[in-house]
Amino acid sequence: MSVAFPEVAVGGASVRARITRRARWGNGAAGRPRRTASLVTVGVLAAALALAACSSGASGQAGDCDTDRGTLAVGLIAPLSGPLANIGLGMRDSADLAVRQANERCAVPGYRLELQARDDRADPPTGAAAARELATNPDLIGVVGTYNSSTAQAVQPVLGDAGIVQVSPGNTNVSLTRGVNPVAAPLRQYQTYFRVVATDAVQGPAAADHLAALGRTRVAVVSDGQTYGEGIADEFVKQLGTRGGDAVMRMTLPAGSPPAAAVAAISRARPQAVFYGGEYPDAGPLSKALSGLGIPLVGGDGIVDPDYAAAGGRDGDLGTSVGPPTETLPGATAFLSAYRAAGYRETWGQYGAFSFDATNVVVGATGTALGRGGGEWSPDLRRPVAQAAQAYDADGVTGPISFDRFGDVGSDAVTMYRLVGGRWIPDRTQP
């Protein structure tokens, strides 16, 4: 993992250098039928997105396009430093690739696009400060991010009050789009907020279903006290109960805490598995501490990370993540080729393809709003950009991208992974 600078303005030589995914409780605004979740065998949802070849010039260079009207900014807020930087850097570079390609195809006539990335360090106050700083730029058309759901809670009001569209490639907590009572009384608070990933209301139940199918119905549940961790753990517990399972223990182990206290309580509860709601830097040490009990640790996309094994994760551990593996998506072939050709130091990571798609939502919505507004950008067009994002409907790398009335994407696909030889692979274990 390379060191990232706390603030990045991506643009050629000027580079200075985390679910709720969604579950549908009915049809979308346009009456689209519910799309159900599946595990490893889920079918790919979209045909390939034709991607333009990435130029070898400077990042964001507009080629032969008419850019006489100036430069517009696409913001990005993600963890570019700290333990989650391997995720955030892949998000940043994938968004940069989308901006490059948008410039190559003259996606916003008259303008050159530039990515302006900011480091939130997976810290809500830092993320809010980054959002406030980006929002002062009158040429900002939208923001891609955040990864962490807790950071999103701090960023949403800043961008929402400014009317700036925000498209997340990684947030999974259900409340971000449906409020505190998402089933009985769903309420969308921010009309400018969208996400291109499924929610914890899909991932948590998928993990519970998988464990129940394996006959592991006595489960200890540990969560880190953060928005994402608590949300996915809650959804897991609810579904486990419907499958005849029992959460034999539930405790909060704050992020960064030694796992000893949790291991002692887990040992007394004698579960068949441990479900962890949180991120891999804390899940790995907990898994390592559980090695003497001979039971797997199970989690969501927060633990399905290439560095999980290095953090202490053990072979046999399980984790869910949104969508099929990027490499298996027909639409991802050109994306992966272009990413490699661009020469980025970091890999695209688990959320690179989603970041690419999120950026294209911002760009596409801007093009639509500008076309309807006479072609001249002004901050007054930010709300029309959000309205155009609501109506967005196109094939992306990760599948069809369109949003219901809450701002949630239509795909509920989830894959279950197993750690084998220190690597996450799709789990095809049959009970």
- CATH number of the domain at 339, please: 3.40.50.2300
The reply to whether 57 and 159 lie within a common domain is yes
Six-digit token pair at 148? Answer: 């962490």
Residue range 61-76: average pLDDT?
88
The reply to whether 194 and 240 lie within a common domain is no
The reply to whether 90 and 169 lie within a common domain is yes
For the CA atoms of 85, 120, 190, 150, the dihedral, rounded to the nearest 10 degrees, stands at 70
Name 113's bridge partners. 72
Position 314 scores a pLDDT of: 98
Per-residue pLDDT at 180 exceeds 70? yes
Name 247's bridge partners. 219
Residue range 104-109: average pLDDT?
96
The reply to whether 94 and 189 lie within a common domain is yes
Position 64 scores a pLDDT of: 82
Identify the CA nearest to 362 among candidates 165, 187, 191: 165
Element containing residue 92 per DSSP (H, E):
helix 85-104
Q: Tell me how many degrees the CA angle 409-410-411 measures, rounded to the nearest 5.
A: 100
Residue range 350-362: average pLDDT?
97
* 56, part of any domain: yes
Nearest-angstrom CA–CA distance, 281 and 82: 10
Residue range 374-384: average pLDDT?
95
Residue range 88-95: average pLDDT?
98
Q: Write the single-letter amino acid at 80.
A: L
* 1, part of any domain: no
Please state the pTM of the whole predicted model.
0.84
Nearest-angstrom CA–CA distance, 81 and 71: 27
* 153, part of any domain: yes
**Which parts of 163-279 fold into alpha helices (H)?**
175-178, 200-213, 227-242, 260-269
Residue range 280-300: average pLDDT?
97
Domain of 16? 7-38+45-198+325-411
The reply to whether 393 and 422 lie within a common domain is no
Six-digit token pair at 344? Answer: 């980025």
Six-digit token pair at 258? Answer: 């030694």
List of residues 6+ apart from 312 with CB closer than 8 A: 284, 285, 286, 287, 288, 289
Q: 231 to each of 12, 137, 197, 325, how far by Cα in Å?
A: 40, 34, 15, 23
Nearest-angstrom CA–CA distance, 117 and 89: 10
List of residues 6+ apart from 14 with CB closer than 8 A: none
The reply to whether 330 and 287 lie within a common domain is no
* 431, part of any domain: no
Identify the CA nearest to 167 among candidates 135, 202, 191: 191
Element containing residue 426 per DSSP (H, E):
strand 423-426
The reply to whether 175 and 54 lie within a common domain is yes
Position 61 scores a pLDDT of: 57
Residue range 32-50: average pLDDT?
35
The reply to whether 129 and 274 lie within a common domain is no
Number of separate domains in the chain: 2
List of residues 6+ apart from 343 with CB closer than 8 A: none
Per-residue pLDDT at 240 exceeds 70? yes
Per-residue pLDDT at 8 exceeds 90? no
Six-digit token pair at 158? Answer: 């800043």
The reply to whether 211 and 298 lie within a common domain is yes
The reply to whether 178 and 208 lie within a common domain is no
Residue range 230-238: average pLDDT?
97
Residue range 319-333: average pLDDT?
89
Sheet of 166-168: strand order equals 7-10, 112-119, 71-78, 140-145, 166-168, 193-195
Q: What is the pLDDT of residues 380-394, one digit of tens each?
A: 999 999 999 999 999
* 2, part of any domain: no
The reply to whether 75 and 29 lie within a common domain is yes
Six-digit token pair at 228? Answer: 């994402």
Name 167's bridge partners. 144, 194
Over pLDDT 90: what percentage of the chain? 79
The reply to whether 340 and 295 lie within a common domain is no
Per-residue pLDDT at 47 exceeds 60? no
